[in-house]
């Protein structure tokens, strides 16, 4: 009996060892002893991909964000109707931070800690996007298309942030190109600047001044404002006193329109008028201004004379007027869907990161300029064109100008 018990115990030990070995082998192959799949990827199921989106649809940036969202959804609907991304339908989980960057982090936290989204696609506002990055980057969450030329895509040493990919040009590059255009084409020598006194405007104030000096002109006056300001009487007086040839308008549609209308109300307009930076490159801005918009120049970077542009125009033929913001949403959603498609059926955050870092070399954005990303380069486009308001509509006034051709 003792020998039998001993053999029985040895048999149980051998059987336990074989069971453990089998479990380890299955785990190494990505399986389990019960046949269950590997750990799920956040926001990805067998038939869906959920993306988090933060757009102000309730506050002061709604004029920009609402049409962007319409463009986003238009492209997503087209993709889903065609079968989705590698067999999965895409869902946008959209939350509004009311344009308030102090609310952005909690909104982003909700998208990933409660809604369990896969990646962050778009946060509207440079400061808001920078807040979002402080949450997503340490957690290894992809963040594609921060909406704001002041959004950070490098660290303090100039290295690419590993989980952030810009599509927009930055305001620093735009400042150099504006300086080139105002001096070389419009022939201004004395330029004044109205700028949003935060990350949106401060970078451009610096580069505009640099560029003007390079081309033999000068920044004769500048006035900063908060995007919540509604009274621009003092700003108008200060810039008028400097007697500029032209005033550059930096910031967002509502405050810049309020400034121009305030100047018009006292009969003031600079001899060469105004040039606004690219957040105003939409036909909704001249509509805000009414007759005062006529002849104002605006920086931009969208071109509908492309296959994607024509596809967009066909899909929006019933729209009463072309919306550059809606087109922006459409073309950047195309970029995001292309990336998800290229990342493959076995989609993970790492596979998306690898795709964005290696497969976007001179990527045709479909709206003019191309984008090149790499593990060390996550910046957006750097080509600009200029538009002018004619009969209340923005019309083309220049070809594309590369920032690298204007500075240094």
Same-domain pairing of 398 and 268: yes
In the block, which residue shows the tokens 């810049």? 256
**Strand 246-249 relative to strand 393-396: parallel, antiparallel, unpaired?**
unpaired
What is the phi-psi region of residue 368: left when phi exceeds 0, alpha when psi lies from -120 to 50, beta otherwise?
Answer: left
Residues 273 and 395 both lie in one domain: yes
- Segment among 17-26, 94-103, 172-181, 291-300 with least mean pLDDT: 17-26
Q: Is residue 314 part of a domain?
A: yes
Q: Are residues 62 and 155 in the same domain?
A: yes
Q: Is residue 28 part of a domain?
A: no
CA distances from 368 to 328, 385, 400 (A): 12, 10, 8
CB-side neighbour CA atoms (13 Å) of 353: 17
Confidence band, pLDDT 50/70/90 cuts, at residue 40: very high
Given a cut of 60, is residue 33 above it in pLDDT?
Answer: no
Domain membership flag for residue 338: yes
CA 385 to each of CA 32, 236, 297, 369, 396: distance values in angstroms, whole numbers, following the listed order: 57, 27, 10, 10, 8
Asked whether residue 58 is domain-assigned, the answer is yes
Query: The CATH number of the domain where 271 resides is what?
Result: 3.40.50.2300
The share of the chain scoring above pLDDT 90, in percent, equals 87
Q: Can you give the length of the chain in residues?
A: 408
- Domain match, 156 and 177 both: no
Same structural domain for residues 155 and 238?
no
296 band by pLDDT with thresholds 50, 70 and 90: very high
Sort strands 297-300 and 143-147 into parallel, antiparallel or unpaired: unpaired
Average pLDDT of the chain to the nearest whole number: 91
Does 347 fall in a domain? yes
Domain extent for 394: 172-300+386-405
* 226 φ/ψ angles, rounded to the nearest 5 degrees: -95, 145
- On whether both 57 and 165 belong to a single domain, the answer is yes
The answer to whether residues 92 and 220 belong to one domain is no
The answer on pLDDT for 18 being more than 70 is no
Q: Are residues 186 and 87 in the same domain?
A: no
Which of these, 60, 54, 98, lies nearest to 288 by C-alpha position? 60
Whether residues 308 and 292 fall in one domain = no
User: Residue 109 and residue 115: Cα distance in Å, rounded?
Assistant: 9
Q: Is the pLDDT of residue 21 over 70?
A: no
Tokens, residue 100: 């308030």
Q: Would residue 335 count as lying in a domain? A: yes
For residue 346, tell me if it sits in a domain.
Answer: yes
The number of domains in the chain is 2
Q: For 11-18, which contacts have Cβ atoms below 8 Å and span 24 or more sequence positions?
A: none
Task: With beta carbons less than 8 A apart as the criterion, state whether 305 and 49 touch.
Answer: no
| Secondary structure (DSSP) of 232-284 | -HHHHHHHHHT--SEEEE-S-HHHHHHHHHHHHHTT---TT-EEE-GGG-STH
Over 50: is that where the pLDDT of 349 sits? yes
Rounded CA separation 95/355 (Å) = 27
Q: Are residues 367 and 401 in the same domain?
A: no
Statement to judge: residues 397 and 265 lie in one domain:
yes
Band of the pLDDT at 23, cuts 50, 70, 90?
A: very low
Question: CB 125: neighbour CB atoms within 10 A?
Answer: 32
Q: Indicate if 258 and 293 belong to the same structural domain.
A: yes
For 302, phi and psi rounded to 5 degrees?
A: -105, 140
Domain for residue 20, yes or no?
Answer: no
């Amino acid at each position: 009996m003792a020998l039998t018990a001993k053999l029985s115990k040895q048999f149980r030990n051998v059987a336990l060892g074989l069971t453990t070995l089998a479990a380890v082998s299955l785990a190494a192959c990505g399986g389990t002893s019960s046949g269950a799949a590997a750990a799920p990827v956040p926001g990805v199921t067998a038939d869906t991909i959920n993306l988090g989106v933060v757009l102000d649809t309730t506050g002061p940036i709604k004029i920009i964000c609402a049409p962007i969202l319409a463009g986003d959804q238009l492209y997503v609907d087209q993709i889903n109707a065609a079968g989705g991304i590698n067999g999965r339908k895409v869902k946008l989980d959209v939350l509004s931070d009311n344009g308030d960057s102090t609310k952005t982090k909690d909104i982003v936290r909700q998208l990933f800690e409660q809604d369990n989204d896969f990646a962050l696609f778009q946060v509207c506002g440079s400061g808001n996007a920078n807040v979002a990055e402080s949450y997503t980057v340490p957690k290894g969450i992809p963040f594609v298309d921060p909406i704001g030329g002041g959004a950070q895509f490098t660290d303090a040493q100039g290295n690419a942030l590993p989980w952030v990919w810009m599509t927009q040009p930055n305001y620093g590059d735009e400042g150099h190109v504006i300086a080139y255009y105002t001096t070389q084409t419009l022939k201004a020598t004395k330029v004044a600047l109205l700028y949003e006194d935060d990350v949106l405007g401060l970078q451009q104030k610096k580069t505009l001044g640099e560029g003007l000096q390079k081309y033999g002109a000068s920044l004769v006056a500048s006035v900063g404002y908060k995007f919540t300001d509604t009274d621009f009487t003092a700003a108008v007086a200060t810039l008028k006193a400097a007697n500029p040839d032209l005033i550059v308008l930096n910031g967002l549609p509502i405050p810049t329109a309020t400034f121009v209308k305030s100047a018009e109300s006292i009969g003031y307009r600079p001899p060469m008028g105004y040039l606004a930076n690219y957040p105003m490159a939409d036909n909704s801005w001249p509509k805000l201004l009414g007759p005062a918009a006529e002849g104002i120049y605006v920086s931009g970077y969208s071109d509908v004379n492309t296959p994607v542009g024509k596809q967009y125009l066909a899909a929006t033929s019933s729209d009463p007027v072309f919306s550059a913001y809606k087109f922006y949403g459409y073309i950047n959603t195309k970029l995001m869907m292309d990336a998800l498609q290229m990342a493959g059926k076995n989609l993970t955050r790492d596979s998306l990161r690898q795709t964005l870092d290696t497969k976007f070399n001179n990527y045709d954005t479909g709206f003019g300029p191309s984008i090149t990303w790499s593990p060390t380069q996550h910046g957006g486009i750097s080509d600009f064109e200029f538009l002018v308001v004619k009969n209340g509509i923005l019309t083309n006034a220049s070809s594309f100008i590369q920032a690298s051709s204007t500075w240094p």
